[in-house]
């Protein structure tokens, strides 16, 4: 494999698929009941080493590392430091790289947060979900509202200047007053970045089973849409900029790592179930790892990559993906960058179809650009399919 010369710095995603307890709504690749083992850490190191040498990425700049899960805050500070040092030795880690870890409030204290900072973390993303104990109970979270607030304050006191929180709305029975209270409490904390999600009940979760048995009311889609738009409006009035469908930031605090997914940049996903994407191979190549942590470790220990699947994108697939991912960003789909990659007629074809959605308040058309309104952001996938069909 020849040495790669990426035009823009790459991102690294490291998946830690372990949790203290499985939340009943969670469809992520995560498993309750085991610690982050030495075996798993070693497998991650092996995978980093292997991918770096396979694609000749040793001199490729990496300007973001994101530890997601699962619950990566179950890592000890020393194991986290070990992973970050290995990454720095396998790639050219930018000295100003954004290095994020997702934190579950039930797993951290001041000492741990300090240790993470000393290990190289400069951004934390706290899975708050709500600041209402009833909502947290319904979601089966292991922490209370006051523990979530406490972990936020501890993180600020430890010197973290870039803190994101996750907030979930659209729960069965949730009232608008509860949502507004959540937002008011958040405003007091003043996080730098907020990810706003609607509860989505997916197959394979406890919530899905309960819903099937009639024990849990399905979320009402009209109410969810209304709540999302209200929350979006309040956040924007509070000075947060919606730079991606579900993500809001104070100016300058957009997540560099998240933006890689939406702007077609290269990223390597390490760990069980992680996905990777390299744009430079034809129209792009993606691959993904096997889901089970034990199979992931088995493969690397046996000298194999832990691959579950791989695809080389065709021009049409790459175009659909570029449309979908760009539309998710506030910057939208830009004529110049689209035509540079896909040829002169690509944008003109899309804009004819996009014009039909303007009267429905789903799309904003500006010179050389197609973007989604707040209402359109709720239907990003459908709109992308409509204009690329």
CA distance 80 to 71: 13
**Minimum distance from CB of 292 to ligand SF4 (Å)?**
15
CA distance 97 to 158: 19
Q: How far apart are the first and last CA of the chain?
A: 36
Which of 9, 11, 69, 105 is close enough to bind ligand SF4 by CB under 6 A?
69
Cβ atoms within 10 Å, residue 381:
12
CA distance 254 to 325: 16
**Minimum distance from CB of 69 to ligand SF4 (Å)?**
5
68-76, 78-86, 89-97, 371-379 -> range binding ligand SF4 (CB under 6 A): 68-76
- Per-residue x/- mask for ligand SF4, residues 3 to 42, rule CB under 6 A? ----------------x--xx--x-x-x------------
Quick check: helix, strand or coil at residue 179? Answer: helix
CA distance 214 to 218: 9
**Which value, in Å, is the radius of gyration of the alpha carbons in the chain?**
21
**Minimum distance from CB of 380 to ligand SF4 (Å)?**
22
Q: Which is nearer to ligand SF4, 59 or 109 (CB)?
A: 109
Q: Which is nearer to ligand SF4, 23 or 83 (CB)?
A: 23
Q: How many residues bind ligand SF4 (CB under 6 A)?
A: 11
> In this structure, are strands 285-289 and 307-312 parallel, antiparallel, or unpaired?
antiparallel
**Minimum distance from CB of 104 to ligand SF4 (Å)?**
5
Identify whether the C-beta of residue 100 lies closer than 8 Å to the C-beta of residue 124. yes
DSSP state of 189: H
**Minimum distance from CB of 265 to ligand SF4 (Å)?**
24
- List beta partners, residue 365: 370
Identify whether the C-beta of residue 41 lies closer than 8 Å to the C-beta of residue 79. yes
Q: Does 60 bind ligand SF4 (CB under 6 A)?
A: no
Quick check: helix, strand or coil at residue 16? Answer: strand
Q: Which is nearer to ligand SF4, 19 or 44 (CB)?
A: 19
Site for ligand SF4 in 189-228 (CB under 6 A): none
CA distance 307 to 287: 7
Q: Which is nearer to ligand SF4, 127 or 273 (CB)?
A: 127
Site for ligand SF4 in 80-109 (CB under 6 A): 104
Q: Which is nearer to ligand SF4, 118 or 133 (CB)?
A: 133
- List beta partners, residue 171: none
Q: Which is nearer to ligand SF4, 46 or 143 (CB)?
A: 143
Tokens of 54: 């396979």
**Minimum distance from CB of 365 to ligand SF4 (Å)?**
38
Identify whether the C-beta of residue 4 lies closer than 8 Å to the C-beta of residue 276. no
Which of 52, 64, 71, 224 is close enough to bind ligand SF4 by CB under 6 A?
71
> In this structure, are strands 10-16 and 267-270 parallel, antiparallel, or unpaired?
parallel
Identify whether the C-beta of residue 117 lies closer than 8 Å to the C-beta of residue 94. no
Site for ligand SF4 in 108-137 (CB under 6 A): 127
**Minimum distance from CB of 270 to ligand SF4 (Å)?**
17
**Minimum distance from CB of 102 to ligand SF4 (Å)?**
8
Binding site residues, ligand SF4, CB under 6 A: 19, 22-23, 26, 28, 30, 69-71, 104, 127
């Amino acid at each position: 494999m020849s040495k790669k010369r990426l035009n823009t710095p790459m991102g690294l995603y490291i998946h830690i698929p372990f949790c203290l307890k499985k939340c009943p709504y969670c469809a992520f690749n995560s498993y309750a009941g085991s610690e982050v083992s030495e075996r798993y850490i070693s497998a991650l190191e092996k995978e980093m080493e292997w991918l770096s040498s396979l694609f000749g990425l040793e001199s490729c700049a990496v300007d973001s590392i994101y530890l997601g899960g699962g619950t990566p805050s179950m890592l000890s500070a020393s194991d986290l430091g070990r992973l970050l040092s290995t990454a720095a030795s396998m790639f050219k880690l930018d000295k100003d790289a954004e290095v994020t870890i997702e934190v579950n409030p039930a797993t951290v204290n001041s000492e741990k947060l300090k240790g993470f900072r000393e290990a190289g973390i400069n951004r934390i993303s706290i899975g708050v979900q709500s600041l209402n104990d009833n909502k947290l109970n319904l979601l089966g979270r292991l922490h209370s509202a006051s523990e979530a607030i406490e972990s936020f304050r501890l993180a600020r006191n430890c010197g973290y200047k870039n803190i994101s929180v996750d907030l979930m709305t659209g729960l069965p029975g949730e009232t608008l007053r509860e949502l507004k209270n959540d937002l008011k409490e958040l405003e007091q904390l003043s996080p730098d970045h907020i990810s706003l999600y609607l509860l989505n009940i997916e197959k394979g979760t406890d919530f899905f089973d309960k819903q099937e048995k009639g024990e849990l009311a399905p979320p009402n889609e009209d109410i969810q849409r209304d709540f999302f738009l209200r929350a979006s409006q309040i956040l924007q009035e509070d000075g947060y900029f919606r730079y991606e469908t579900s993500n809001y930031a104070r100016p300058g605090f957009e997540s560099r790592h998240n933006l890689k997914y939406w702007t077609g940049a290269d990223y390597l996903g390490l760990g069980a179930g992680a996905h990777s994407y390299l744009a430079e191979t034809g129209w792009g190549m993606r691959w993904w790892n096997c889901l089970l942590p034990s199979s992931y470790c088995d493969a690397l220990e046996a000298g194999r990559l832990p691959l579950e699947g791989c695809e080389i994108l065709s021009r049409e697939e790459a175009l659909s993906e570029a449309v979908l991912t760009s539309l998710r960003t506030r910057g939208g789909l830009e004529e110049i960058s689209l035509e540079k990659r896909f040829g002169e007629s690509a944008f003109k074809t899309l804009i004819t179809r996009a014009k039909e959605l303007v009267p429905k308040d789903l799309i904003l058309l500006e010179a050389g650009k197609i973007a989604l309104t707040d209402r359109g952001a709720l239907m990003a996938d459908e709109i992308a399919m409509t204009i690329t069909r």
